[in-house]
Homo-oligomer: A and B are copies of this chain.
Amino acid sequence: MHLSESTWPEVRELETSLAVLPVGSTEQHGPHAPLGTDMLTAEAVAAAGVDAYHDETGVDIPVAPTIPVAVAEEHRAFDGTLWVSPDTFRAYVRETVASLAHHGFDRIVIVNGHGGNVGALGELSGTISRHDDAYAVAFTWFEGVDSDVPMGHGGPRETAVLRHIRPDLVREDHVDTASEAASDHWGEWVAGVNLAHDSAEFTDNGVVGDPAEGIAALGAQLVDNAADGLCELLEAVGTRDRS
């Protein structure tokens, strides 16, 4: 159930302590994919995951609106990329989670669509679970799927999911040039350390990996796979002993 499309008496009827909070980012995804890619993919996985959970248990879980701006300063060289500091991002998500918990939804799965948020959300989940009246974990969908296709950035996985859920937003006429100019690796590594703090240091067009490989069928499979993982996680979170 999407919170933003529901009324408060409908929310009051829910019989669960679980909630899902999708978190995206507004950031460059190359010349072929929209800046909102990470919101769209997080939303799609969140929706599919709670549907799967509903199919299995008959229970409806509220899905909060997607957080649109997150930790993405590393892409600042590319126009239209938006970001807030990690501190502000954590405060914003933490307090949003607290307001969910205020209504009794105090087992929260944050569904994340952006690699740059992983560190901040991991830290935040611990903070919330130890110090607030809620338990939280972060599920980054592309870490929860079982696939040989590399992640990259605006690469095969994300392009595949977009072609599956919002094909109208993929600039197909730019995919080839996106592929050609793409970087084949994330970062500049020496002794296990990435020296590049910004993505523009290692990719000219913002793409890492080959988007052409990301066909729609793969996208469908990735979303299914992620939804299954999310459903499994919701079951574990819903029954976890919090004493």
Contact = CB atoms under 8 A, between A and B. Distances in A.
Looking at A33, A85, A92, A194, the one whose CB has the most chain B CB atoms below 10 A away is A92
A80 B3 contact: yes
Contact residues on A (Cβ < 8 Å of other chain), bracket: 35 or more
Contacts of A129: 197
Q: Tell me how many chains of this kind the complex includes.
A: 6
A206 to B, nearest CB: 6
Nearest to A138: B193
Given A96-B69, A191-B139, A193-B233, A7 B29 contact: yes
Contacts of A65: 26, 36, 39, 68-69, 82
A152 interface: no
A185 interface: no
B191 A237 contact: no
Given A3-B82, A8-B31, A86-B123, 18 more contacts: A3-B80, A4-B35, A7-B28, A7-B35, A11-B35, A62-B80, A64-B68, A65-B68, A82-B96, A83-B99, A84-B92, A84-B95, A119-B120, A126-B197, A139-B191, A139-B193, A140-B192, A191-B236
